[in-house]
Amino acid sequence: MLRYGESLRKNTTWLMIIVITLYSNYALSYNISNIEQKLNHQISINPKAVFYEIESLLVDPELNVNLKAILMVLQSEVAYFIDQPEHILKYSRAALATGLLTDTWHARVLISQSRGYFQRGQFNEFYATANMAVIKTEQYNLSTYKISALVERAYANNLLGNNDQAIKDLALAIKYLELMPNVFDKAIILERFSAVNKRLGNIKVALKYQHQANIIYEKIDTPHYLSIGYYNLARIYQAIENWQDASVWMLKSYRQALKDKNKLNQAFSLSRLSEYQNNLGNIKEANKYLNEAIIAADLSASERVKIHVRKNMAKILAQNKAFIECKTLLLETITLAETYQMERDKIELMQMLAETYFSLGDFESAYITLKSAK
């Protein structure tokens, strides 16, 4: 009878452990689902606020490790929306290092990480990570995330000069993309799809899908993403040197960035406006916009935009034959690009510096700089 009682107690204990485990897993799953739903809604409206909200959650010592891993994936995604490549890579690597991600979250973080490498200008890493994301989504039949992964791999292939492969990925992605409902996630993919087509010279296609993305943003009525959407539309017109239409859309982008009180987007829009007005021969307007862009950039948290506006200022200095000032600015900006591992910008800046040395008659420095840029 004693043995039976002991056996019953053991069985009851194991039953309680199983029930507690199942309840804990259910509670965690429910908690993650609720948090994700809440944050996804906020991300589509104000990603910067979400970024700081997640930061505060991540420092909580009582936070469940599984939930922490998921929050780090979400944080890497938010970091892309606010142009923070350092944080994209920081949180995506940290999430992967936990070893706790399910296949879906693993695929998501790979897509996010690939975008971090894109923003850094590290195109080989961009391709490798996007390719891993495609493999992961195919392996586990994650059709929604497969679209994003294919578009990112297409972008990477294009940047590496593999345009045939890029076109194949885009052709496959569009079959799934057109079936997606018109929601926020689709707008993000449409933007990336449009951007690759712009680089491939498919301007009509690029315009079509960027307009579709903007329609979704207009329905959501969020100035943050409208600013980005109008910015990308202006860049398509820039690609065909339609400076007038590019200026119209970039001004709309800037106005949305003002509504959003977003110094980062303001700086990018103002810098492009300066470039377009300069090409239209409106030099006074160009200088005005550029000076405003530098002020906004320095008030932002993005090193990338600080580099971008200074690059544009160097171009204007070179056009005005102010080569000494141009050289000084380029040397400072190259140091900034090196510090933040912005490889693509660094190479472009060094090429500009080589041209500046050449204009100054310093041919040896021009040769050494150009050689180092390769």
- Per-residue pLDDT 10s for the chain (374 aa) are 444 444 444 444 443 433 333 344 444 454 666 777 778 788 988 999 999 999 999 999 988 899 999 999 999 999 999 999 999 999 999 999 999 999 999 999 999 999 999 999 999 999 999 999 999 999 999 988 999 999 999 999 999 999 999 999 999 999 999 899 999 999 999 999 999 999 999 999 999 999 999 999 999 999 999 999 999 999 999 999 999 999 999 999 999 999 999 999 999 999 999 999 999 999 899 989 999 999 999 998 888 889 999 998 898 889 889 999 999 999 999 999 999 888 889 999 999 999 999 999 999 999 999 988 87
pLDDT (0 to 100) of residue 31: 61
pLDDT (0 to 100) of residue 320: 83
Q: Which residues of 184-221 are buried (b: 16+ CB within 10 A; e: fewer)?
A: bbbbbbbbbbbbbbbbbebeebbbebbebbbebbeeee
pLDDT (0 to 100) of residue 30: 43
Domain limits, the chain: 1-34, 54-179
- Long-range CB pairs of 136-144 (<8 Å, 24+ gap) are 136/103, 136/106, 136/107, 136/110, 137/107, 139/103, 140/103, 140/104, 140/107, 142/103, 142/104, 142/107, 143/176, 144/180, 144/185
| CATH superfamily to which 54-179 belongs | Tetratricopeptide repeat domain (1.25.40.10)
- Alpha-carbon distance of 49 to 212, in angstroms, equals 26
Angle CA 166–171–175, to nearest 5: 145
pLDDT (0 to 100) of residue 304: 84
**Which has the closest alpha carbon to 70: 47, 40, 112, 36?**
36
pLDDT (0 to 100) of residue 343: 85
**In one letter, which amino acid is 311?**
K
Using DSSP's 3-state secondary structure scheme, residue 361 falls into coil
- Alpha-carbon distance of 69 to 284, in angstroms, equals 51
Residue ranges of the alpha helices (H) in 85-180?
A: 85-98, 103-120, 123-139, 143-159, 163-177
Is residue 246 within 8 A of residue 237, CB to CB? The reply is: yes
pLDDT (0 to 100) of residue 183: 92
pLDDT (0 to 100) of residue 87: 96
- Alpha-carbon distance of 73 to 56, in angstroms, equals 15
